[in-house]
A = this chain, B = another copy of it.
Amino acid sequence: MRPSSAAKRRAVLAAAEEAFLAAHYESVTMDDLARSSGVSKQTVYAHFGTKEQLFIELVTSMTRLAADDVHQVDALPIESADRIAPVLESILSRQLEAVLQPRMLRLRRLVIGEVPRFPELARAVFEHGPQRAVAVLAQILSDLDARDLLSVPDPTTAATQLNWLVMGAPVNDAMFLGDDAIPSTPAQRDHVRAAVATFLSSARRSAE
């Protein structure tokens, strides 16, 4: 049986992920991708148009899938003050773990390195990543403020602070130092717990 059109498309995207994440945008050719995915060059062009379009499709689909994965779990309703820390820790641990996947770190480096060439692509990654994460947190903090469980007069600023308390050091370390700098899962949990504690200590103090 010959592979279906959808299967060919998936094969090209898989080959493109491997090739782009291992090299520079420039050094990947459509010929390479056709060869490594076992389809004809015409098929690659028929599905994706140009190398630029294929790269954009790959980056946006990887970013969107990772973000959906993080946010798919229904945010648990926070029923009482003692549930605030565990729920925030759970959301932020899931987010940190997703961003620290080696393939997502390579994608981030590649997109940041290509900002001058693909500014719109970097903007799309930003919107699916940090911007969406901050919006989800701001909604939660705004609800907690409305119910007098925390004092969060400016939910977007507070959500941005909470997000970067958690994400800043580990993502930056991994950007510069590579995969060896990715903390273990228990170390990630400890880091998230300490960051949420610092944040809540400030938001609770204001509530008193």
A: residues with CB less than 8 A from B are 22, 24, 26-27, 106, 109-116, 119, 122-123, 125-126, 130, 157, 160-161, 163-165, 167-169, 171-173, 175-178, 194-195, 197-199, 201-202, 205-206
User: Nearest chain B CB to A19's CB is how many angstroms away?
Assistant: 13
Interface of A is mostly: helix
Chain B residue nearest in CB terms to A114: B113
User: Nearest chain B CB to A155's CB is how many angstroms away?
Assistant: 13
User: Nearest chain B CB to A67's CB is how many angstroms away?
Assistant: 14
Partner of A205, one of B125, B176, B205: B205
Q: List 21 A-B contacts (CB under 8 A).
A: A26-B27, A109-B115, A112-B112, A112-B176, A113-B114, A115-B178, A122-B177, A130-B172, A161-B195, A161-B198, A164-B164, A164-B165, A164-B167, A167-B168, A197-B202, A198-B199, A198-B202, A199-B202, A201-B202, A201-B206, A202-B202
Is B175 touching A164 in the complex (CB atoms < 8 A)?
no
Chain B residue nearest in CB terms to A123: B177
Is A194 touching B157 in the complex (CB atoms < 8 A)?
yes
- Which residues of B sit under 8 angstroms from A206, Cβ to Cβ? 201
Roughly how many angstroms separate A115 CA and B176 CA in the complex, as a whole number? 7
Is B123 touching A176 in the complex (CB atoms < 8 A)?
yes
Is B175 touching A112 in the complex (CB atoms < 8 A)?
yes
Is B176 touching A169 in the complex (CB atoms < 8 A)?
no
User: Nearest chain B CB to A175's CB is how many angstroms away?
Assistant: 5
Pairs of residues from A and B, 10 with the lowest C-beta to C-beta distance, nearest first: A113-B113, A164-B168, A168-B168, A126-B176, A201-B202, A122-B176, A198-B202, A160-B169, A112-B112, A202-B202
Partner of A163, one of B109, B168, B175: B168
